[in-house]
Amino acid sequence: MPRINIKDIAQKAGVSKTAVSFAFNNPSRLSEATVQQILTIAEEMGYSPDPVARSMSTGRTGTIGLLLPQPLPEIVRNPFFPEFLEGIGEVCAHSGLSLMLVPPLKGSIRRAIINAAVDGFLTLGLEEFKATMVVLRQRGVPFVTVDSDPIEGVPAINVDDAGGACQAMRHVLSLGHRQIAILAIRSGKQGHYREYVGTLGARMHGYLQALEEYGLTIDRRAIRLLECASTEEGGMESFQTLWKLSRHPTAIIAMSDIIAIGVIKAANTAGLHVPQDLSVVGFDDITMASLIHPALTTVAQPSREKGEIATRLLVKLIEANAKPVHQMLPTRLIERNSVCPPRREEP
């Protein structure tokens, strides 16, 4: 059976092929009655527009891309991601847009940007953003950065990572902890924390600010820094590494809840009591943070709202060439049951 095309629709409706095209792609140029007539006939005849042809005629794909810094399997293992994605999805559904997840293509962010058929990009947590920005600008579509160091003239949505991290470290220090391990999300910097950028750099800045207020710095004896994967397994492996040392921390502060949850599970398996033997703090306030035992003290960030706001901004940029803005969303410390004063007196 031959495929129905716009010529067939035009003949039956008694209108031009241009009118049929307008009915699907630019209905404001026709009367409401004419649009309804054309769409009704198209439905009766079983016609559906070819998406490739439609995008060629309109210059739009009806799709936005979420540019990811890591391979998809690694990203989706972090429970933060679905909450962020939910906010994006809400706006896409309201705006009639599709969403394409765009991880590195054969290890290359540049290749992924070039090959994605989208009207604009959201970027999530790209560390080396300046180089990526050049490729995005060459691509010529709007983009909004999320969880990256802001750049003048580039729209950006971030949360107050530094302020939240500072609150978390102050809380632990105020209770008397002086043997502390910081579990940073793996960066490729091999622990050279002064080179951290984006989310990692901001959170590290907050931790260091609080330590400085108490006259402390990172060293190999009292305040330790380890990098690990942002997974439960990463937290469990870090705990095991720390417990092989002769001097154990009394508190562990993790850059993500999923790492902290891995620490708690490993500590429980080792026969420790959290928080009496080991206090643990996370970051994100994912759903699991309030469900694990003990419930996790953490820094809450508005993950869903961040996705919503960033997507709304991108839609405005696509539709009306809106002015780029930088927006910072607040964080707050949520005190639950995974932190208490250290059992032993510390120097």
Find the CATH number of the domain harbouring 22.
1.10.260.40
- List phi, psi (to 5°) of 9: -65, -45
Same domain, 48 and 153: no
Task: Kindly state whether residue 346 falls inside one of the protein's structural domains.
Answer: no
Kind of pairing between the strands at 298-300 and 143-146: unpaired
Distance CA 146, CA 126 (A): 8
Tell whether omega for the bond before 275 is within 30 degrees of 0, i.e. cis: yes
Q: Same domain for 172 and 239?
A: yes
Query: Based on the domain organization, do 255 and 196 belong to the same domain?
Result: yes
In the chain, pLDDT over 70 holds for what percent of residues? 93
What is the distance between the terminal CA atoms of the chain, rounded to a whole angstrom? Answer: 84
Q: What are the percentages of helix, strand and coil residues in the chain, rounded to 5? A: 45, 15, 40
Structural domain that includes position 42: 6-58
Summarised one tens digit per residue, pLDDT across range 247-300 is: 999 999 999 999 999 999 999 999 999 999 999 999 999 999 999 999 999 999
The number of distinct structural domains making up the chain is 3
Beta bridge partners of 328: 158
In a domain, 241, yes or no: yes
Give me 321's structure tokens.
Answer: 């060439």
User: What is the pLDDT, as a whole number, of residue 104?
Assistant: 87
Average pLDDT, the chain: 89
Same domain, 258 and 220: yes
Boundary (domain end) residue, out of 33, 58, 83: 58
Assigned domain for 342 exists: no
Assess if residue 283 is contained within a domain.
Answer: yes
Regarding whether 261 and 167 lie in a shared domain, the answer is yes
The verdict on residue 239 lying in a domain is: yes
- Rounded to two decimals, what is the model's pTM? 0.80
pLDDT at 58: 52
Short-list 121, 161, 144, CA closest to 255: 161
- Same domain membership, residue 144 and residue 79: yes
CATH number for 126: 3.40.50.2300
Kindly state whether residue 340 falls inside one of the protein's structural domains.
no
Query: 73 Cβ partners below 8 Å, 6+ apart?
Result: none
What single DSSP character describes residue 297?
Answer: B
346/344 Cα distance (integer angstroms)? 6
Q: Residues 21-66: pLDDT tens digits?
A: 777 766 777 888 888 888 888 888 877 665 545 554 555 678 999 9
- Distance of alpha carbon 328 from alpha carbon 322, whole angstroms: 18
